[in-house]
Structure 1
Amino acid sequence: MFFFLNSNKMFFLMVLIFSTMISISANSWFGAWIGLEINLLSFIPLISSSHNMMSSEASLKYFLTQSIASINFLFCIIFKMIMFNNFEMNSMISILINSSMLMKMGSAPFHFWFPNIVEGLTWFNNFILMTWQKITPMILLSYYFNETFLIMSIMLNMIIGAIGGLNQSSLRKMMAFSSINNLGWMISSIMISENLWLFYLSMYSFLISMLCFFFYMMNMFYLNQMFINNLNPLIKVNLLINFLSLGGLPPFLGFFPKWIIINFLMINNYLFLTFIFIMMSLILLFFYIRIIYSSFMMNYFKLKWFKIYLKNNFFILMNSFSIISIMGIIFSTMFFF
């Protein structure tokens, strides 16, 4: 939590927020591109501020992938200006612009950089990468999308996000594959409406912020560290509620946006896509439950890396957020009435 006492980090965080505003309020593709570049150059100092080998490697990888995506995007918008009246080229240009945006947000089939970079980041940077950094590419994607290409990408996202997390022992990589899976839901929601996307993103950000904050407080990075999570029964219940809510289990808050998306897909006759969504959510729930299962085990021993000082006010905050999460079904029925 000393992040907000550091003026350098606060400055780069503000620039990160403003760069997203520049991109989404730009009235030309060039303005959006400039915003993306500022965003990239403000996020790299945040990554490399951790001062370990993994973070410097992560910042270099992040810079290279984002630069390639930006070059591709810039090439596409210049090409579109030259071929302005050529309608035959439009579908190809839209696929190229879409692919550069998908690469920027770490979506399948351009997802290979994402789990590697996540592994070298702190929990706070992970939270930014999984939520805020997806806003600009998503908005730009919604302006000019190729439906067939995006549906293929959604399917890949769902499958890779679910299968990829099965054999991971790192919590950060698990959350990365979970993010790839949720990206499939987000892309499908932005194809339906921007309001629904905003609703899904805010729900996802709320849940992922609680989990990242929880792992930061407990200083946890690997699955085997969950076994000693026996300090307080309320901590375990919090973890259970938030993971099941993120997985989209009905009584919890995370189910509601997924329910709306499935409803829209069914109305528009995307039955096979709906089937993939539901099946992959089951696999995702399986590896969430595996994390919870390890924390519910009863062997307790104290280790050097374990942080004991859980501040009381933070703990009350987490409990209150978990209550909001568990009352999700009440909120969702209120929306319908």
Structure 2
Amino acid sequence: MLFMINSNKMFFLFIVFFSTLISISANSWLGCWIGLEINLLSFIPLMSNPNNLLNSEASLKYFLTQSIASINFLFSILLNLFLLKNFFMNNILSILINSSLLMKMGSIPFHFWFPNIMEGLSWFNCFILMTWQKISPMILLSYYMNLKFLFLIMIFNVLIGTISSFNQTSLRKLMAFSSINNLGWMLSALSISENLWMLYFSLYSLFISIMCFLFYIINVFYINQLFNLNLNFSIKFSILINFLSLGGLPPFLGFFPKWMIINYLLYNNLFIISFIFTMSSLIMLFIYIRIIYSSFMFYSIKLKWYKIFIKNNFMIFINISSFISLLGMIISTLFFF
């Protein structure tokens, strides 16, 4: 495992993974709802910690918001069963189902719980919340999509995720708003093709896992801690590479799925949406580069005996992944074209 967790939580982690498989492989909406409920009830013990009040508060907030989303989802699928179908009712039902699943993911306009809960979690739980917990709501969303509604949600996701990232001092909140921004890209990838969504989600999960692991091993939670610590250069370089990949800067590997999405939007004459997506990525890159530039340039503590060296075998994998990400656009271009 990337992070140290005890054997009791390993059991609940297995149930979280298993419940996602139940949800995405169910052949009825009720089976999907049962999988989501099992996922909710198994993730809460992973979040809660009796020695940390922030974790307990975050688990309570998560339970309340996810319960509301589950109630809305169950109400929507029951309406779908019993109401007469016509064009107007189908639109209303699709918006209701989509809204409940968007609330599960922490998307706009139901995103207010997401940064607050992220602030009270460990880096391992943040990683699960930003990646694995989005799989089942997104796959269920692909079954019953209201594209006109979702295009509006995509635009607000990338805009609000970008604007809210300004002046953040907490790394966890910054990663939460970055996740909201990337959620807009993932929804657009899902509306295009499930294969494109799987590619984008896999690369996003890789970058997020490396970022969360790096922040975990150097034990930082706020941006100014990156300025104060004399970190090993390879750690700072890996943080730089993965921040730029998350922002989608060429020639890094994170640019490749965004490039495919923008190509599709331009091909279908969706110029305004592609312009908003591109500008939001540029602003996110500005935010990331400002943090990384400051952490490279500033050294508040210059003590020879206060130098941090991380002895961890996983750092070799992180350095290799960073190198692949640096050359990834060239490699992917050779393979795909």
TM-score, length basis structure 2: 0.95
Q: Deviations over 1:198-235 (max 9, x none)?
A: 00000000011110000001100001101134332222
Which structure 1 residue ranges, 5 or more long, are not aligned? none
**Aligned ranges for residues 276-291 of structure 1 at < 5 Å?**
276-291=276-291
Percent identity of paired positions between Structure 1 and Structure 2:
67
Amino acid at match of 1:138: M
Does structure 1 retain, via aligned residues, the 8 Å contact 2:230–2:307? no
Structure 1 position 83 matched with structure 2 position 94: no
Q: Deviations over 1:101-129 (max 9, x none)?
A: 00000000110100000000000100000
**Aligned ranges for residues 94-109 of structure 1 at < 5 Å?**
94-109=94-109
| Equivalent-residue separation in structure 1 for 2:162 and 2:89 (angstroms) | 35
- 1:41 aligns with 41
**Aligned ranges for residues 161-310 of structure 1 at < 5 Å?**
161-301=161-301, 308=308, 310=310
TM-score, length basis structure 1: 0.95
| Equivalent-residue separation in structure 1 for 2:177 and 2:312 (angstroms) | 32
Aligned partner of residue 249 in structure 2, secondary structure: coil
State the Cα distance separating 1:88 from its structure 2 match: 2.8
- 1:333 aligns with 333
| Equivalent-residue separation in structure 2 for 1:91 and 1:165 (angstroms) | 33
- 1:73 aligns with 73
Cα 1:312–1:4 change in 2 (3 A) is closer
State the Cα distance separating 1:152 from its structure 2 match: 0.6
- 1:134 aligns with 134
| Equivalent-residue separation in structure 2 for 1:106 and 1:204 (angstroms) | 16
| Equivalent-residue separation in structure 2 for 1:21 and 1:245 (angstroms) | 29
| Equivalent-residue separation in structure 2 for 1:279 and 1:222 (angstroms) | 26
| Equivalent-residue separation in structure 2 for 1:319 and 1:231 (angstroms) | 15
Amino acid at match of 1:241: I
| Equivalent-residue separation in structure 2 for 1:193 and 1:24 (angstroms) | 17
| Equivalent-residue separation in structure 2 for 1:263 and 1:71 (angstroms) | 38
- 2:158 aligns with 158
Which structure 2 residue ranges, 5 or more long, are not aligned? none
Does structure 1 retain, via aligned residues, the 8 Å contact 2:2–2:213? no
State the Cα distance separating 1:298 from its structure 2 match: 3.8
| Equivalent-residue separation in structure 1 for 2:2 and 2:49 (angstroms) | 13
| Equivalent-residue separation in structure 2 for 1:258 and 1:2 (angstroms) | 27
Aligned partner of residue 79 in structure 2, secondary structure: helix
| Equivalent-residue separation in structure 1 for 2:42 and 2:268 (angstroms) | 40
Aligned partner of residue 231 in structure 1, secondary structure: coil
